Amino acid sequence: MPEAVIVSAVRTPIGTAFKGTLSETPAEDLATHVLREAVRRSGLAPGRFDDVAFGEVMYGGGDLARYAAVAAGMTHVPGVAVQRHCASGLAAIGLAAASIRAGMDRAVVAGGVQSSSTGPSLTWRIPGSDGSEQRIAPTFPHTDEATDDVSLSVGWNVAQRYGLTREQMDAWALRSHRRAVAATGSGAFADEIVPIKVTRRDGSVVEFAADEHPRSTTSAEKLASLAPLHPEIDGFSITAGSASGMNDGAAALAIVADDLARAEGLPELAVVRAWTAVGVQPAYTGVGAIDAATKVLERAGLRASEIDLWEINEAFASVPVAACEVLGLDEERVNVHGSGCSLGHPIAATGARMVTTLVHELRRRGGGFGLATMCAGGGQGGAVVIEVP
């Protein structure tokens, strides 16, 4: 059985939705940009790739992976849209690795793309009437305990279940910003970020080369001063500061069979060792990151203590804080360059972004195991384990 080897891993800088640098750049342009660069860096001719799998969320149909393939001149390569909400990028990586290990494909580009700034607004007819309403497509049956308000089902309910304090979550968010700012300043993202030229609304063209969501001015005092998102709920401790942002961005990884990589002399950056997805109660969606991590460790035959670096998406700070407590993790090995609270959360791209960051940071550190895990809308979770030799 061939191994699935990552031979390139890239991402765009992450933009702040609606008011940031990527706010006028549609998702198809972001997807095409990272696809081209992932293929170029792989060292494999574009004609050798079998498929493109891209996560996309809240786009109401279409197939951005196929669009990017055609736009990149890879007309013979099909594309598949992968939708597992926040874990879509991770699911795309698992799909690519599975096809390669099964011997069905030899080379696949996997990733995810999100333009929250330019995404469609979906209108639905109300059954039994001629009226309509704007809403997102349902993923689970709504109840009093489980609605589309993720500040409750991801942030607050997880904080309540594990007895987390606002001080713990604010402290995590502050550290996230400090780590992201430090990583940008030190050049830690230089190997993974692909600058992109964008046209602003006024017609000017700029090169976007660094994440713009992290805030160097964030302080403990500023975070403590923020109002809770639900002041009507007694003791509610989730704020905008301990939540991820709304963001734009894309990430892509070229994944090939190990024998193909050796035969072509491609850069073998990492091996995809295991992947998984889980379902949890929608009212406690944030738990999905913990359950997915537990399941993927079992599939990889590893213990949590054997993982050198962790990426746990900060959909809300409560998620990684709870995961560290439950799994017994050393916080110094978790989100070493920040995550959702600071870098932002371009939904469908985040999973691929996390694995991309793990690949490059583990290589800088001399190798080891990395685990990316996250919760996903509707009471789900996804996780991937990689090994950098």
pLDDT by residue (tens digit) across 343-352? 999 999 999 9
Q: Distance of CA 111 to CAs 52, 183, 261, Å?
A: 8, 22, 19
Q: Which residues pair with 319 in a beta bridge?
A: none
Average pLDDT over residues 276-303: 98
pLDDT at residue 121 is higher than 80:
yes
Confidence of residue 123 (pLDDT cuts 50, 70, 90): confident
pTM of structure: 0.97
User: What burial letters (b/e) apply to 211-226, b meaning 16+ CB within 10 Å?
Assistant: bbbbbeebeeeebeeb
Percent of the chain whose predicted confidence (pLDDT) is above 90:
92
3-state secondary structure of 319: helix
Residues labelled catalytic = 86, 345, 375
How far, in Å, CA of 15 to CA of 33, rounded? 15
Query: Looking at the predicted structure, is the pLDDT value of residue 142 above 90?
Result: no
301 burial (CB, 10 Å; 0-12 / 13-18 / 19+) is: exposed
Q: Which pLDDT band holds residue 53 (cuts at 50, 70, 90)?
A: very high
Which of 208, 210, 212 has the alpha carbon at shortest distance from 33?
A: 208
Q: What is the pLDDT of residue 114?
A: 97
Residue 375 and residue 307: Cα distance in Å, rounded? 19
- pLDDT for res 49: 98
Taking residues 276-299, report their average pLDDT: 98
The chain-wide mean pLDDT, for the chain, equals 96
Residue 59 has pLDDT above 80, yes or no: no
Structure tokens at 333: 């090995």
